[in-house]
């Protein structure tokens, strides 16, 4: 059976899906202070960008308040910063496939030629759709993998059972547990064994919680600042003249987006799942 990891030339043209449990990110973050800042900063970026994407798509497709050039101005920084933070983290990380149909050595999570197209969060999983990198503004068109992610109504246990029994959905990787590794920390032998020992001296839950809160607050301020800048640039696009009659609706949308960013920044990780890591 063909493999659909980032290193494979058989990666579907429509993209692929990667669902990773919160616990996997928490385990990774517990490895060091730097990793904790990297992980929580990346998660904050992804949550914030998700709110921007959903609101802008609604404004373009459902409400007709934005043209695509205007939408690109609002979204650009957020999408590219998500790629810098979460994309960079996932390119530096690997995972060990657990499904029999997809067994093998530890693989890079996100390929160098791939980007995160869309993301969501359900049942404790950070669900992501990956696609091949395209010229900007590729993010204005949702990939087939992202569409499948959004319409996927199967519960995680059902997906796990299907993957274990017949390797389907073939475009999906499902990750949980201590199964997300920083590649530079692994020896060649560990990569081939597809496993890594639990952190010998993990950060405490208190330390992780403090770093998470700091990252969320810092990114909240940055995301709001960049949304305001992008909004101003969008309003300068010549076609905006056609939308002056929709000024009140645009103001309400802007207010909603600012509130959604603040709400996303209030989401905390479930650190209780890491109680077994406490010394």
What pLDDT score does 21 carry? 93
Statement: residue 257 has pLDDT above 70: yes
Distance CA 116, CA 15 (A): 10
Angle, nearest 10°, between helix axes 22-29 and 33-57? 140
Report DSSP letters for 65-107, one per residue. Answer: ---HHHHHHHHHHHHHHHIIIIIHHHHTEEE---SGGG-SS-E
Angle at 239 between CA 65 and CA 231, to 5 degrees: 60
Distance CA 216, CA 247 (A): 31
pLDDT tens-digit map of 205-252: 999 999 999 999 999 999 999 999 998 888 776 655 445 556 778 888
- The alpha carbons of the chain give a radius of gyration, in whole angstroms, of 19
Domain locations in the chain?
16-269
What pLDDT score does 274 carry? 60
pLDDT tens-digit map of 74-112: 999 999 999 999 999 999 999 887 655 455 678 899 999
Distance CA 24, CA 80 (A): 24
1 — pLDDT class (breaks 50, 70, 90): very low
Distance CA 104, CA 1 (A): 13
Strands 16-21 and 172-175: parallel
pLDDT tens-digit map of 14-65: 899 999 999 999 999 999 999 999 999 999 999 999 999 999 988 888 888 8
Judge whether 24 and 176 are in contact, CB under 8 Å: yes
Answer yes or no: pTM beyond 0.75.
yes
Judge whether 113 and 127 are in contact, CB under 8 Å: no
pLDDT tens-digit map of 101-147: 455 678 899 999 899 999 999 889 999 999 988 766 766 788 899 99
Statement: residue 256 has pLDDT above 80: yes
């Amino acid at each position: 059976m063909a493999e659909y990891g980032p290193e494979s030339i058989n990666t579907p043209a429509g993209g692929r899906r990667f669902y990773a449990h919160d616990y996997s990110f928490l385990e990774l973050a517990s490895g060091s202070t730097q990793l904790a800042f990297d992980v929580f900063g990346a998660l904050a970026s992804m949550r914030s960008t998700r709110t921007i994407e959903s609101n802008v798509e609604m404004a373009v497709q459902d409400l007709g308040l934005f043209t695509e050039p205007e939408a690109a101005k609002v979204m650009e920084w957020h999408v590219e910063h998500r790629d810098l933070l979460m994309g960079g983290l996932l390119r530096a990380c690997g995972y060990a496939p657990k499904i029999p149909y997809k067994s093998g050595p530890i693989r890079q999570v996100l390929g160098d030629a791939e980007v995160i197209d869309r993301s969501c969060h359900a049942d404790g999983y950070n669900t992501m759709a990956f696609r091949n990198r395209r010229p900007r503004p590729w993010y204005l068109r949702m990939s087939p993998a992202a569409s499948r992610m959004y319409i996927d109504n199967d519960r995680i246990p059902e997906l796990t059972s299907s993957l274990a029994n017949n390797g389907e959905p073939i475009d999906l990787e499902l990750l949980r547990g201590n199964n997300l590794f920083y590649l530079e920390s692994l020896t060649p032998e560990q990569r081939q064994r597809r496993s890594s020992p639990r952190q010998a001296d993990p950060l405490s839950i208190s330390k992780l919680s403090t770093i998470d809160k700091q990252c969320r607050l810092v990114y909240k301020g940055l995301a709001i600042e960049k949304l305001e800048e992008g909004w101003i640039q969008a309003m300068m696009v010549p076609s905006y003249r056609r939308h002056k009659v929709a000024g009140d609706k645009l103001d309400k949308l802007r207010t909603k987006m600012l509130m959604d960013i603040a709400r996303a920044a209030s989401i905390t990780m479930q650190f209780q799942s890491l109680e077994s890591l406490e010394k």
